[in-house]
Structure 1
Amino acid sequence: MTQRHSVSVAGVVIRGEGEVLVIRRRDNGRWEPPGGVLELAETFEDGVRREVLEETGVAVRVERLTGVYKNMERGVVALVFRCVPLSEPRHSTGEAAEVRWMSLDEVHEAMAPAYAVRVVDAFEAGTQTRAHDGINLL
């Protein structure tokens, strides 16, 4: 049987001069940008809006694609989009044990390199493509 990729989407939600909305996942305790599996009937942007709203309570405007990332261990391809918040976050949700704003310095300290780079890339011009093993870039 041919193995297939899973496609996910994530939103790097940026407020003001560089605060980023992040979640601490309930399932593994890791800090990450909000996101998840893209549903079959969704556009990329609709999926980002849904995932960010479900995980943080924040409605967003999707600005642009900032990166495409492949987890080589799990076969997950993630499309990451820069977003602008249209509402305020909740403190926690069904999928997020904690929701908060972080500076870029805090992101570097709190997130695995494979996820911190997604946030950093959202501040750069253009679109990046990167591969990782779930933790570190390859």
Structure 2
Amino acid sequence: MSVAGVVVRDDGRVLVIRRADNGTWEPPGGVLERAEAIEDGVRREVLAETGIEVRVERLTGVYKNTALGVVTLVFRCRLEGGHAQLTDESTAVAWFTPDEAVAAMSEVYAVRITDALHDDEAPHIRTHDGRKLTPLQGD
């Protein structure tokens, strides 16, 4: 299982990274450790990849990569402190407008930003093949 944080600043900009391993722009996140609480994992991953400390607000989406069998929980977060910095896992850390973030990302990561910015009460549930969104079974 993996987790990611869509970190939103007071001015509406969102925190994004360009991953060192594949060069893609994404919200920061990674694999949850076995004995780790889910929200602790979100905070740890965002800090490790960006230098930013966050407060986890709410679950905004559940995304299943059907090609890899990985489920990612995405949470909306608020900036608490720290300074954006490069790490071994990121070649760029930036605060993008939502439109800039969506334009820079592939469909499967862009939807995580748009889902997190909606004020829906229930989290979105989506599947993808690693590149494109796919219909949920039964759709």
Q: After TM superposition, is the score higher than 0.5?
A: yes
- For 2:106 and 2:61, locate their aligned partners in 1 and report how far apart those are by CA, in whole Å: 17
- 1:94 paired with 2:85, answer no
What is the SS of the residue equivalent to 2:47? helix
Q: Structure 2 regions of 5+ residues with no counterpart?
A: 135-139
Q: What percent identity do the matched residue pairs reach?
A: 60
Q: Which residue of 1 aligns with 2:129?
A: 133
Compared CA separation, residues 136 and 89, structure 1 to 2 (3 A): farther
Please list, as runs of the form range in 1=range in 2, the aligned pairs for 1:1-138 lying within 5 A after superposition. 7-124=1-118, 125-126=120-121, 127-138=123-134
Q: Structure 1 regions of 5+ residues with no counterpart?
A: 1-6
**How many angstroms does 1:16 deviate by?**
1.7
Q: Which residue of 2 aligns with 1:3?
A: none
Answer yes or no: is the 8 Å Cα contact 2:15–2:27 preserved in 1: yes
- For 2:43, give the aligned amino acid: R
* Misfit runs of 4+, over 2 Å: 88-91
- For 2:131, give the aligned amino acid: I
Aligned residues: 132
TM-score when scaled to structure 2?
0.92
User: Alpha carbon RMSD of aligned pairs, Å?
Assistant: 0.9
